[in-house]
């Protein structure tokens, strides 16, 4: 039991975990509230589809310069600046909601939030690997995943409660923005670390993260699996429709539906801190993504609120295992001087799957209905697992995560 808490004895890890809880809670409040408000105002599934698109566009446009900046500017400073920008987006949404501004302003502020995430998410992901021993990565990722999921449980439930109490969205957006500023304050607890590389480099170095990933077939297989599984199997964007039209549970029920996957993921993350290392993590990755697809199909077919919560709970359980394996692979295989650019590319895959998955879910729901959209996505996830298992058979033979070493796949000129 003592070993499970070893990494939490490091003061800056505790501060970082608390800051992540605050930040993710705020993002979840904003995300849940935007979905509720837009669907309430438009009663149109397409309004939910466009949420993902406007958050995704800046991620796709900025991932190359964002990674370059993160590797050449103190990462803590980049993370803090991005969180301030995210807070501004939250406060802007509060003002627009208060004044009942046009829907177009919501999308403009979501674009601003996506810009903050394009820099902030990869910068935050590279902070602790600079400061911890390699042997601590799996445990740190498990605890940070626990913090993330705790916030993902608290955020939607708190957002739903704030809406229900105030009968409007303004207060929820304001709290979401304030949570980002709290993370900024807690980031001051991290030790100062100079930029990894400060000398000038050619323009080709901007694309070093892409080159590194595409020359590493195991890592490429893992993130491809995540990309298409979440793209097809994610049902989160449609939860406002299920809460209002299918399950008829209102904004409070929507908060619990949004929280259920995170409760499952947090439960699994806590268990991971006490489990021995996986002997065949690649095989585990394939199995849990397939089970994620099965649970998604179950949610799509359910008309019972308790059963829907259970299915969403298990999507979180299986997704958490995938996240810990994938993040630990990235941190273990990537040299520190490339972490910013690799993390930024990795975040594009994650953002692409989550945000474009929201567009895919919303558009297919508008065309075929929400149930067909979710069930079809779950079936698609199972097909993706089969394709990845055939295309990258070496993934099933991946060594235990704690045995992985950084790979030197690029020349000095390419970096």
> In angstroms, what is the C-alpha Rg of the chain?
20
Please tell me the predicted confidence (pLDDT) of residue 63. Answer: 79
C-alpha–C-alpha distance, residues 62 and 59, integer Å: 5
Q: Mean pLDDT across the stretch 136-160?
A: 78
Q: How many degrees, rounded to 5, is the angle at CA 192 between CA 5 and CA 15?
A: 35
Tens digits of residue pLDDT in 16-34: 888 888 999 998 899 888 8
Is pLDDT above 90 for 233?
Answer: no
Across 236-258, average pLDDT: 81
Model pLDDT, residue 268:
86
Q: What is residue 173's predicted lDDT score, i.e. its pLDDT? A: 93
What's the confidence (pLDDT) of residue 60?
Answer: 81
pLDDT at 179: 94
What average pLDDT does the segment 125-139 reach? 74
Q: How confident is the model at residue 104 (pLDDT cuts 50, 70, 90)?
A: confident
How far apart, in whole angstroms, are the C-alpha atoms of residue 80 and residue 185?
8
Domain span at residue 24 reads: 3-191+204-401
Dig out the tokens for 4 from the structure: 């499970």
Residue 204, H or E segment: none
Average pLDDT value for residue range 74-80: 89
- Does residue 408 fall inside a structural domain? no
Q: Which of the 8 DSSP states describes residue 413?
A: T
Residue, of 199 and 237, whose pLDDT is higher: 237
pLDDT of residue 7: 73
Residue 408 has pLDDT above 70, yes or no: no
Q: Please write the tens of the pLDDT for every residue from 285-308.
A: 999 999 999 999 999 898 899 999
pLDDT of residue 183: 94
**pLDDT of 171 strictly over 80:** yes
Q: Is 104 exposed, middle or buried (0-12, 13-18, 19+ CB in 10 A)?
A: exposed
What is the chain's mean pLDDT, rounded?
Answer: 81
Number of domains composing the chain: 1
- 225 with 388: CB under 8 angstroms? yes
Angle of helix 370-391 relative to helix 217-233, nearest 10 degrees, comes to: 170
Under the banding of pLDDT at 50, 70 and 90, the label for residue 109 is very high
Residue 339: CATH number of its domain: 1.20.1250.20
Tell me whether residue 415 is in a domain: no
Confidence class of residue 176 from pLDDT cuts 50, 70 and 90? Answer: very high
CB 409 within 8 A of CB 216: yes
Instruction: Answer yes or no: is 407 within a domain.
Output: no
> What pLDDT is attached to residue 81?
93
Check if the beta carbon of residue 129 is closer than 8 Å to that of residue 332: no
Query: Which of the given ranges, 207-211, 249-253, 261-265, 272-276, has the highest pLDDT on average?
Result: 261-265
Asked, for residue 56, whether it belongs to a domain, the answer is yes
Asked if the structure places residue 198 within a domain, the reply is: no
**Domain membership flag for residue 69:** yes
Does pLDDT of 3 surpass 60?
no
Rounded Cα gap, residues 408 and 411, in angstroms: 8
Question: Quick one: pLDDT band at residue 206, thresholds 50, 70, 90?
Answer: low
Is 414 within a domain?
no
pLDDT value, residue 69? 85
Contacts of 217 (CB under 8 A, 6+ apart): 392, 394
In the predicted structure, residue 196 carries a pLDDT above the cut 80:
no
Residue 35 half-sphere exposure, CB side, CA atoms within 13 Å?
33
pTM reported for the whole predicted model:
0.68
Position 199 pLDDT exceeds 60: no
Q: Which of 43-57, 162-176, 188-202, 245-259 has the highest mean pLDDT?
A: 162-176
What does the pLDDT read at residue 55? Answer: 81
pLDDT band per the 50, 70, 90 thresholds, residue 124:
confident
* Mean pLDDT on 181-196: 84
Asked whether residue 85 is assigned to any structural domain, the reply reads yes
Please, is 6 exposed, middle or buried when counting C-beta atoms within 10 Å of its C-beta (0-12, 13-18, 19+)? middle
CA distances from 72 to 170, 191, 335 (A): 38, 17, 14
């Amino acid at each position: 039991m003592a070993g499970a808490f070893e990494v939490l004895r490091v003061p800056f890890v505790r501060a970082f975990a608390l800051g992540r809880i605050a930040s993710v809670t705020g993002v979840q409040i904003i995300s849940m509230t935007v979905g509720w408000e837009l669907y309430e105002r438009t009663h149109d599934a397409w309004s939910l589809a466009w949420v993902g698109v406007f958050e995704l566009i800046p991620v796709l446009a900025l991932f190359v310069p964002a990674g370059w900046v993160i590797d050449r500017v103190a990462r803590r400073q980049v993370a803090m600046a991005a969180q301030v920008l995210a807070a501004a987006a939250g406060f802007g949404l509060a003002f627009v909601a208060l004044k009942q501004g046009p829907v177009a302003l919501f999308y403009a502020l979501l674009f601003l939030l996506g810009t903050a995430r394009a820099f902030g998410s990869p910068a935050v992901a590279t902070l602790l690997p600079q400061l911890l021993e390699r042997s601590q990565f799996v445990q740190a990722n498990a605890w940070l995943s626990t913090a993330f999921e705790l916030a993902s449980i608290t955020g939607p439930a708190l957002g739903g409660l704030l809406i229900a109490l105030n009968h409007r969205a303004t207060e929820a957006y304001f709290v979401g923005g304030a949570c980002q500023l709290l993370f900024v304050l807690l980031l001051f607890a991290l030790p100062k670390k100079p930029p990894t590389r400060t000398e000038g480099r050619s323009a080709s170095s901007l694309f070093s993260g892409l080159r590194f990933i595409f020359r590493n077939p195991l890592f490429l297989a893992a993130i491809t699996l995540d990309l298409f599984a979440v793209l097809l199997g994610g049902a989160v964007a449609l939860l406002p429709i299920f809460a209002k039209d299918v399950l008829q549970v209102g904004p409070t029920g929507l908060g619990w539906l949004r929280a259920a996957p995170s409760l499952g993921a947090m439960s699994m993350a806590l268990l991971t801190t006490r489990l021995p290392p996986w002997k065949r993590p690649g095989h585990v990755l394939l199995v849990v993504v397939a089970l994620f697809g099965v649970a998604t199909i179950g949610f799509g077919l359910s008309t019972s609120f308790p059963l829907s919560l259970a299915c969403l709970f298990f999507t979180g359980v299986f997704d958490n295992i995938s996240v810990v394996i994938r993040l630990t692979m990235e941190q273990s295989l990537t040299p520190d001087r490339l972490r910013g650019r690799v993390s930024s590319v990795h975040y594009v895959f994650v953002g692409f799957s989550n945000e474009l998955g929201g567009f895919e879910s919303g558009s297919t729901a508008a065309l075929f209905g929400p149930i067909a959209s979710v069930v079809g996505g779950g079936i698609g996830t199972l097909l993706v697992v089969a394709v990845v298992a055939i295309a990258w058979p070496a993934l099933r033979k991946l060594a235990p995560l704690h045995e992985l070493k950084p790979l030197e796949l690029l020349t000095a000129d390419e970096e």
